[in-house]
Each structure stands twice: as C-alpha cells, then as structure tokens.
Amino acid sequence: EAGVAQSPRYKIIEKRQSVAFWCNPISGHATLYWYQQILGQGPKLLIQFQNNGVVDDSQLPKDRFSAERLKGVDSTLKIQPAKLEDSAVYLCASSPRGGTTVGELFFGEGSRLTVL
C-alpha cells in the first residue's frame, strides 16, 4: 500500500515570496490533515479536511495560509507571503476515520521550508 506522498521535500524561498506544498493521502482515506512542525516542537494542526470539506481550520493563519482539497483526494497548502517564522516542516497526514474518532494517523515525509 502506498503511503502519504508529499512534495517538494525541500524548499528555500525569500521572505514575502509564495510557496505551495502538495499532498496525496493514502487511497480511500477520508480525512486529511496539514501540520506545521517547528524544530524541537511537536506538530501543530493547521487544517483538517474530511473528504473535500474543512472540519477545523481554527489554527490556520488565514491572512497568509490557504489550503484546498478539491475532489476530496489530494490537497495543496499555500503560503503567501511567507515570513521568517514560517520556516518549519509541513507534514501531511491522513486517516481512514473521521469525525470524533481519531485513530492512527499516517504521515508523509514532510516538506521542509526555509524562509530567508
């Protein structure tokens, strides 16, 4: 079974530039998450989708971050304009479950962003 695919693995940009990350979850997984992990910290949820609807985006900085999951499969996370503090690893995870039952999450390898 193929795992969660993410790209690019690494990205270096200047502040105020834009960047986009892509995620393809495990086939059949209804729930997709984007997490931000700053070095030395645990993952922080940015947004959760169930199918193509947003379940929770309360911690997404909506003035600069946006995400979509068209057709309920793959997803894109965009940052525009980027700030220095956005330097982090952006992790995508999926789960076959949804709603209030949070079981095992399956993570991708992550996309490491460096903002100069």
Residues that bind other proteins (CB under 8 A): 4, 40-45, 48, 56, 91, 93, 99-110, 112
- Quote the longest CA-to-CA distance of the chain: 40
How far apart are the C-alpha atoms of 83 and 78, rounded to whole Å?
Answer: 13
In the complex, least distance from residue 61 CB atom to other proteins, rounded to whole angstroms: 17
User: Is the preceding omega at residue 43 within 30 degrees of 0, hence cis?
Assistant: no
Q: Which is nearer to other proteins, 16 or 44 (CB)?
A: 44
Q: Which is nearer to other proteins, 102 or 116 (CB)?
A: 102
In the complex, least distance from residue 41 CB atom to other proteins, rounded to whole angstroms: 5
Q: Which is nearer to other proteins, 3 or 18 (CB)?
A: 3
Strand order of the β-sheet with 5-7 is: 5-7, 19-24, 75-79, 65-68
